[in-house]
Amino acid sequence: MHRTRWLLLFCFVLTFSPAWAQQPPAVFDLHGDSGILNELRPTGVAWLDQGRLFVVDRRYNAFAIFDPQGRRIGYIEPNREMALAEYSALGQLEPNVLFAAGSHYHDKNNTRYLYPRSVMHRIEVTGSQMISRPSSVAWEPEPKNGRLIVFR
């Protein structure tokens, strides 16, 4: 009788021991009590090369890049020459080439922009350093092929 109990206990321990040996996934604090991350509202996420994470932030209508440890390493605001966008989705075409969907409103309620219109933005994230570029280089505000090129 005791042998059966010990055998059952041994089988039980062997069955669940791999679950005990696994490490929990890494969770990194985003320091949400400081700065821009206080009210981060992500609506889209995509992986970049080198384990970086590209996040669309609906709250501030901007983009953020995080490193594998969860630290924000880049914050990219959209071009302010175009009406503010409310970004609602993010898709990945190929490595470091993304598409963000946004609805744009015109501040002065121009009849052309009276209702929100959806625009797809092409985002290219390249390189290893953030380089500031004039908006004429980094943004092409054509409605049919609006592009946001981020040099990163």
Model pLDDT for residues 26-64, shown as the tens digit of each residue: 555 455 445 555 667 788 888 888 888 888 887 777 788
Backbone angles phi, psi at 19, to 5 degrees: -65, -35
What's the Cα-to-Cα distance from 39 to each of 27, 67, 69, 96, 121, rounded to whole Å? 18, 19, 20, 26, 24
Asked, for residue 7, whether it belongs to a domain, the answer is no
Q: Which domain holds residue 34?
A: 28-151
Query: How many structural domains compose the chain?
Result: 1
Q: Beta strand pairing status for 42-47 and 53-57?
A: antiparallel
Q: Which residues contact 19 (CB under 8 A, 6 or more apart)?
A: none
Asked, for residue 69, whether it belongs to a domain, the answer is yes
Asked, for residue 15, whether it belongs to a domain, the answer is no
Asked, for residue 11, whether it belongs to a domain, the answer is no
Instruction: Report the candidate in 40, 38, 55 with the shortest Cα–Cα distance to residue 98.
Output: 55
83, pLDDT greater than 50 = yes
Instruction: Report the candidate in 124, 116, 67, 130 with the shortest Cα–Cα distance to residue 100.
Output: 124
Q: Beta strand pairing status for 117-126 and 147-151?
A: parallel
pTM of the entire structure? 0.54
Asked, for residue 17, whether it belongs to a domain, the answer is no
Q: Which residues contact 30 (CB under 8 A, 6 or more apart)?
A: 37, 40, 70, 72
Band (17; pLDDT cuts 50, 70, 90): low
Asked, for residue 102, whether it belongs to a domain, the answer is yes
Model pLDDT for residues 94-152, shown as the tens digit of each residue: 877 777 777 766 555 555 555 556 667 777 776 543 333 433 444 444 444 444 444 43
